[in-house]
Structure 1
């Protein structure tokens, strides 16, 4: 973003330089000035010093105000703010989604009631392209839009190809079994027969590409034909099939033009100001921003609330520590342990229940009632009991904790890493033979990381306008004050020296006027004596010659 404070800094520097230059000229010109101009020289020094100090003091108070004012003007969502508006509209920072699969190594044993053993496969990296469309500004200082997203596989960044084969639980079978467990026994038998007819088993062995973006399934076609709306997709069934070439809904957010503290905050989503998925008004609130930028002028007490359509809820990150990224100051925000805590451990989350152990969020209410849970990868920050039921998990903060590094003065994220895990609750359901003797378990299926960071010319421009120029203004004020004080000291020295000179001249003049004065006759006789000598001496010399 372009900030006009550079022009202000230049003006102050020029004025200050002229002031100091005036003091220097006066300093070197002082000795050549005649005595009756000493007072003017001293006054010149004093004025130059006072002006320089004044510029420095004014800059110290006005500089931060100018910077904040320019930040506000450039953060407002306005097409006139060309660079910042472009960054908001078409995010120029490359974002990537790295996907890791939990390959089930012992599916047959799991059906017999043994613990699942998994091996992490990946990452399979996809470049994510986001673009806002249908942008409409409204009279109440809001703007509405839809953001479309597309994913492109990046083989060079991946540890494998989309043709790699992995085995994961079959959500269509094991998820449906849990959903139908309370139906009458004959209905459950009919469901099991349907699975057999379409050759759907409890586990899927498919390629990464098929699991991600969809595969052909007779069962999916059957359900879409006779039970429309039961599945989230009308075509191929895949874990991310509904996300690619899709939008996140109609967001309406504040532009900040009337109140900068509201910029980027969500006014409504899909016409809603609150949700209906959860059990309490607090859990149904749509809080914070859309998760891309936040209001400026943050402090360590500031939190990062945002609404996530994919999680069907608002979330909030908390301050962890300060940091620096290529010279730019930042705050790191992380997920608190209470984010996915159950209602017993954290009462405000009671509305997200029915809950299981802390550390997982039940999102079945917005996922067609499928028993799906989200968590941190490898059940990081979750109840250790969850890891006891699955072999092959090893959580740690560095690899599995999510964070956002944000520039506090502008609310612009500089480095982002959002890491979440998708889990399926599995259990044995009588009459549905596909479930075998599976023990009750929250089964990890995949986890993904959406990451991106500002770099290149954008970061350079960011650093110049928000770090270098404020530093120049700060140092300039100290230079003005220092040189001003120095000039004032020079004025004092010049003044004292002029006083000494005046006293010396007065003493010399006084001693000259006190010497005895000689009259004309005295001066004449002295002159004659020097040339002729006494008369007696002349007479005696003449007589001596005659002899």
Structure 2
């Protein structure tokens, strides 16, 4: 092999990106030529590797970004589908369970700080109290025997506004609310026909009432002692008093003497009619609240002065007790026309059924008018023992209320004995019963919330004089077995403040509109999201199929 050939066959070894000679010495010229070629080759390889590496990294990054975007799109797609389904479910729930129902349900709890509680705890000045007195015009002629019957003349109205605040409020573990009302009456002279200093003549309630009450005593010594007591005090069968005294501060010396003689027989020496009426309406009351009792039992009385029934009533035999009735401040929710709510006031001393009469409109609101039953003051011969005194068989339409007046012979009726099973002049003359003006009254109630917007309640207080002919002197005989009308009251609420009625409009009328609108928007939004994602899925699938067909 020639020298030139041997030189051309010199092997090389690659180290990294370079090639180096592994032979021995060559002439300088050839070596330089060879080294230049070798260096050129190494630079090209290095550039190719760098280009390949950059391209490979770029492809890898693009692929990674593509997969990442694909995952993001998939997550976004799933989120939109889930959101669409949630919106549709919420809209369906909104149609089935309106927001209004949730607000009424929450009202069951009577949460402090919320409007329902605050407006109840300190209600606005809306209740008007009208008093009408029966002035006796012929007391002298009656006592002289010139007139057979007492003649009366209606005096009134004397108008007050009632301000009530509920105190000692406490929530109990058994989902009840206990409170004690405090009522104050404010005289409105501009609405009254008479002033408080005007005078009237009335039968002496202390003399005739105590005589009747003690005449039935089985204690012989008590009866005899009271007879002797009567001789110590003047027997004025009629008294002249100012209207203020009659309503608020009616006192007789005989009452003081009887309280000292028989302390248990007299509870109070003040016989003012309004004073006594409002004294009876300050008892502690516990009512049912909360979801435990449900809408149908909301604000029904749970107990009265910590007792399950009024003192003197047998709960097993007499239905005239306060349990499950309402004081008329709030009524159960979702009232129906077939419901018969029970109204109770201790001053009336019995349950008063309310019967649906008609629907009425108050703007956009629909109200249910419930009238008091026409038989509310009826006395029947089959009334269970304990509901009324058996010996006091009063005519139908006149109700014994002595149990709520500590035995004092007070009986109740409609004004002017309206609706009673008697002629108007059976006991006295001068009465003119009117079926409209002297009806028992009504409640206009918004049926969903049980809030009364208008009310009117009328009741007459009468003195029942028992048969006292065998016990006392002939002077008492003229009054025996008489029912003497003394006073009648009208309690009314003509309207509520605008902020309450506006809130009621919003809850009853506005909320359903807002609820339906919101549910509709949610439904449309949910359907839009679902349809949009479904269309995109179809487009994506269609595009892939087109590309596959083009590739083929």
**TM-score, structure 1 as length reference:** 0.70
Q: Residues 130 and 157 of structure 2 are in contact (CA less than 8 Å); yes or no, is this contact kept in structure 1?
A: yes
Deviation of 1:456 (Å): 2.3
2:131 is aligned with 1:99: yes
Could you say if the C-alpha distance between residues 423 and 237 of structure 1 is closer, same or farther in structure 2, counting changes exceeding 3 Å?
closer
1:446 to 466, 477, 487: 487
Aligned to 2:468: 429
Aligned to 2:15: none
Aligned to 2:356: 319
2:107 is aligned with 1:70: no
Q: Deviations over 1:105-153 (max 9, x none)?
A: 1223444371222111101011211111111111111121111111221
Q: CA–CA distance in 2 between the matches of 1:141 and 1:186?
A: 50
Q: CA–CA distance in 2 between the matches of 1:349 and 1:375?
A: 21
Q: CA–CA distance in 2 between the matches of 1:197 and 1:336?
A: 46
421-430 vs 151-160, greater mean Cα deviation: 421-430
Could you say if the C-alpha distance between residues 222 and 187 of structure 1 is closer, same or farther in structure 2, counting changes exceeding 3 Å?
closer
Deviation of 1:61 (Å): 7.2
Aligned to 1:395: 433
2:393 is aligned with 1:352: no
Query: What pairs up with 1:32-51 in 2 under 5 angstroms?
Result: none
Deviation of 1:466 (Å): 1.7
Q: CA–CA distance in 2 between the matches of 1:245 and 1:348?
A: 28
464-473 vs 182-191, greater mean Cα deviation: 182-191
2:167 is aligned with 1:133: yes
Deviation of 1:174 (Å): 1.2
Q: Which has the higher contact order (CA 8 A, sep 6+)?
A: 1
Q: CA–CA distance in 2 between the matches of 1:221 and 1:230?
A: 11
Could you say if the C-alpha distance between residues 66 and 397 of structure 1 is closer, same or farther in structure 2, counting changes exceeding 3 Å?
farther
2:445 is aligned with 1:413: no
Could you say if the C-alpha distance between residues 463 and 63 of structure 1 is closer, same or farther in structure 2, counting changes exceeding 3 Å?
farther
Could you say if the C-alpha distance between residues 95 and 205 of structure 1 is closer, same or farther in structure 2, counting changes exceeding 3 Å?
same
Deviation of 1:75 (Å): 4.3
Deviation of 1:313 (Å): 3.3
Aligned to 1:275: 310
Could you say if the C-alpha distance between residues 182 and 312 of structure 1 is closer, same or farther in structure 2, counting changes exceeding 3 Å?
closer
Q: CA–CA distance in 1 between the matches of 2:165 and 2:447?
A: 25
Could you say if the C-alpha distance between residues 450 and 374 of structure 1 is closer, same or farther in structure 2, counting changes exceeding 3 Å?
same
Aligned to 1:299: 336
Q: CA–CA distance in 1 between the matches of 2:214 and 2:293?
A: 50
Q: Deviations over 1:253-287 (max 9, x none)?
A: 11224333222111111111123524624334623
2:282 is aligned with 1:248: yes
Q: CA–CA distance in 1 between the matches of 2:347 and 2:475?
A: 30
Aligned to 1:197: 232
Q: CA–CA distance in 1 between the matches of 2:313 and 2:424?
A: 24
**TM-score, structure 2 as length reference:** 0.70
Aligned to 2:345: 308
Deviation of 1:323 (Å): 0.7
Aligned to 2:42: none
Q: Residues 352 and 373 of structure 2 are in contact (CA less than 8 Å); yes or no, is this contact kept in structure 1?
A: no
- Structure 2 gaps of 5+ residues are 1-83, 526-552
Aligned to 2:122: 90
Aligned to 1:329: 366
**What is the DSSP-based 3-state SS (H/G/I as helix, E as strand, rest coil) of the residue aligned with 1:334?**
strand
Deviation of 1:190 (Å): 6.2
**What is the DSSP-based 3-state SS (H/G/I as helix, E as strand, rest coil) of the residue aligned with 2:282?**
strand
Aligned to 2:326: 289
Q: CA–CA distance in 2 between the matches of 1:107 and 1:406?
A: 45
Could you say if the C-alpha distance between residues 60 and 106 of structure 1 is closer, same or farther in structure 2, counting changes exceeding 3 Å?
farther
Q: CA–CA distance in 1 between the matches of 2:386 and 2:149?
A: 30
Deviation of 1:467 (Å): 2.0
- Structure 1 gaps of 5+ residues are 1-50, 485-547
Deviation of 1:177 (Å): 2.2
Could you say if the C-alpha distance between residues 69 and 343 of structure 1 is closer, same or farther in structure 2, counting changes exceeding 3 Å?
same
Query: What pairs up with 1:453-532 in 2 under 5 angstroms?
Result: 453-471=495-513
Q: CA–CA distance in 1 between the matches of 2:226 and 2:122?
A: 46
Query: What pairs up with 1:160-199 in 2 under 5 angstroms?
Result: 160-182=194-216, 191=226, 194-195=229-230, 197-199=232-234
Q: CA–CA distance in 2 between the matches of 1:331 and 1:172?
A: 43
Deviation of 1:93 (Å): 4.2
2:140 is aligned with 1:108: yes
**What is the DSSP-based 3-state SS (H/G/I as helix, E as strand, rest coil) of the residue aligned with 1:459?**
helix
Tell me the C-alpha RMSD between the 2 structures: 3.4
**What is the DSSP-based 3-state SS (H/G/I as helix, E as strand, rest coil) of the residue aligned with 1:159?**
coil
Q: CA–CA distance in 2 between the matches of 1:227 and 1:324?
A: 56
Aligned to 1:381: 419
Deviation of 1:478 (Å): 9.9
Structure (1 or 2) with the larger CA radius of gyration: 2
**What is the DSSP-based 3-state SS (H/G/I as helix, E as strand, rest coil) of the residue aligned with 1:151?**
strand
Q: CA–CA distance in 2 between the matches of 1:133 and 1:374?
A: 29
Deviation of 1:428 (Å): 6.3
**What is the DSSP-based 3-state SS (H/G/I as helix, E as strand, rest coil) of the residue aligned with 1:201?**
coil
Could you say if the C-alpha distance between residues 251 and 285 of structure 1 is closer, same or farther in structure 2, counting changes exceeding 3 Å?
closer
Q: CA–CA distance in 2 between the matches of 1:327 and 1:398?
A: 27
Query: Number of residues paired by the alignment?
Result: 429
2:390 is aligned with 1:364: no
Deviation of 1:420 (Å): 0.5
Deviation of 1:410 (Å): 0.4
**What is the DSSP-based 3-state SS (H/G/I as helix, E as strand, rest coil) of the residue aligned with 1:180?**
helix
Q: CA–CA distance in 1 between the matches of 2:385 and 2:364?
A: 39
Q: CA–CA distance in 2 between the matches of 1:376 and 1:351?
A: 19
**What is the DSSP-based 3-state SS (H/G/I as helix, E as strand, rest coil) of the residue aligned with 1:418?**
strand
